[in-house]
């Protein structure tokens, strides 16, 4: 059996996922590319399938026998011989949006594995945010958060989690980009063009989980009595 056809373990998939996350933090991959490659990595059965998501990333050296079978017409040049996946150069923080001091580097990736994850209060929200969760309870409260942009793009890559998104009373949201597989996605927030403090655009994939977008408790009642 060829080396590229050897089966991979969950630990190897997790290691490749960490390399992809570092690539996002260093601006090598967009969040969309990260989500697509993570789907491929999680579904990979062999070394060749798993390593295919790393071949174009600087700093990652792969042995040719562990790469996917080359195209019979176009044979890529050989890469340095190494079976190891050396870590990418470490960056202490993801890129900081213009106008924010270096110490205010945003939390670009919110990750949960069989855990509870909460973001609330005066936390810094970057223009693009990724929720990477499995069997977790994730709560993101934007009501007092510090926004670097009015429009925030939130990408979800989830398996079997409950995700709650609370937005300010004048915010709007769009969840039409969410793909659900045995899951539910609901919003009690106004849609439409951005006009308030936040317009949240949610997209990505939810598998056997739930996503709820809502205003803080009591917002509807306050509006009925002209107090909000």
Question: Over the stretch 65-103, which tens digit does the pLDDT of each residue have?
Answer: 555 666 555 555 655 544 455 555 544 444 444 444 444
Helix (H) or strand (E) holding 41: helix 31-43
Contacts of residues 117-125 at CB distance under 8 Å and 24 or more positions apart, as own/partner, are 119/145, 120/144, 121/145, 122/146, 124/100, 124/148, 125/152
Whether residues 20 and 107 fall in one domain: no
Q: How many domains does the chain have?
A: 2
Six token digits for residue 210: 């739930």
Instruction: Name which residue leads in pLDDT, 166 or 88.
Output: 166
Residue range 145-158: average pLDDT?
93
Q: What is the pTM of this model?
A: 0.53
Higher pLDDT, 59 or 126: 126
Taking the C-alpha atoms of residue 84 and residue 42, their distance in angstroms, rounded to an integer, is: 19
User: How high is the pLDDT of residue 98?
Assistant: 42
Please report whether residue 98 resides in a domain.
no
Residues 148 and 204 in one domain: yes
Tell me, yes or no, whether 210 and 128 share the same domain: yes
Query: Helix, strand, or coil here: 222?
Result: helix
Residue 119 lies in a domain: yes
3-state secondary structure of 118: strand
Assess whether 202 and 177 both reside in one domain. yes
- Kindly state whether residues 69 and 145 are assigned to the same domain: no
> Does residue 9 sit within a domain?
yes
Instruction: Based on the fold, state whether residues 73 and 138 are members of the same structural domain.
Output: no
Does the pLDDT of residue 196 top 70, yes or no? yes
> Would residue 149 count as lying in a domain?
yes
* pLDDT computed for residue 103 by the predictor: 40
Domain-terminating residue out of 47, 63, 92:
92
Query: What's the confidence (pLDDT) of residue 211?
Result: 97
Of 215, 204, 216, the closest CA to residue 158 belongs to 204
By C-alpha distance, which of 33, 32, 38 is closest to 153? 32
Higher model confidence: residue 18 or residue 61? 18
Q: pLDDT tens digits for 126-141?
A: 999 999 999 999 999 9
Check whether residue 88 and residue 119 sit in a common domain: no
From the list 139, 177, 124, the residue with the least C-alpha distance to 155 is: 177
Residue range(s) defining the domain that contains residue 120: 103-224
Q: What are phi and psi of 141, to 5 degrees?
A: -110, 110
**What's the angle, vertex CA 151, arms to CA 221 and CA 187, rounded to 5?**
40
Same domain, 110 and 208: yes
End-to-end, the C-alpha distance of the chain in Å comes to 67
């Amino acid at each position: 059996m060829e080396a590229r056809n050897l089966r991979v373990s969950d630990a190897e998939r997790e290691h490749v996922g960490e390399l992809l996350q570092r690539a996002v933090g260093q601006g090598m991959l967009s969040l969309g590319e990260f989500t697509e490659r993570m789907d491929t990595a999680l579904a990979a059965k062999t070394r060749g399938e798993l390593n295919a998501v790393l071949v174009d990333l600087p700093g990652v050296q792969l042995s040719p026998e562990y790469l996917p079978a080359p195209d019979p017409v176009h044979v890529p040049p050989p890469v340095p011989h190494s079976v190891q996946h050396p870590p990418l150069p470490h960056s202490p923080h993801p890129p900081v949006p213009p106008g924010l001091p270096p110490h205010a580097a945003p939390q670009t990736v919110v990750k949960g594995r069989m855990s509870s994850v909460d973001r609330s209060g005066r936390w810094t929200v970057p223009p693009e945010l990724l929720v990477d969760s499995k069997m977790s309870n994730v709560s993101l409260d934007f009501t007092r958060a510090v926004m670097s942009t009015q429009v925030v793009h939130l990408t979800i890559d989830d398996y079997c989690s409950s995700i709650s998104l609370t937005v300010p009373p004048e915010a709007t949201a769009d969840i039409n980009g969410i793909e659900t597989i045995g899951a539910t996605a609901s919003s009690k927030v106004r849609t439409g063009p951005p006009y308030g403090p936040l317009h949240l655009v949610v997209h990505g994939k939810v598998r056997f989980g739930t996503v709820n977008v809502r205003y803080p408790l009591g917002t509807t009642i306050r509006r009925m009595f002209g107090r909000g």
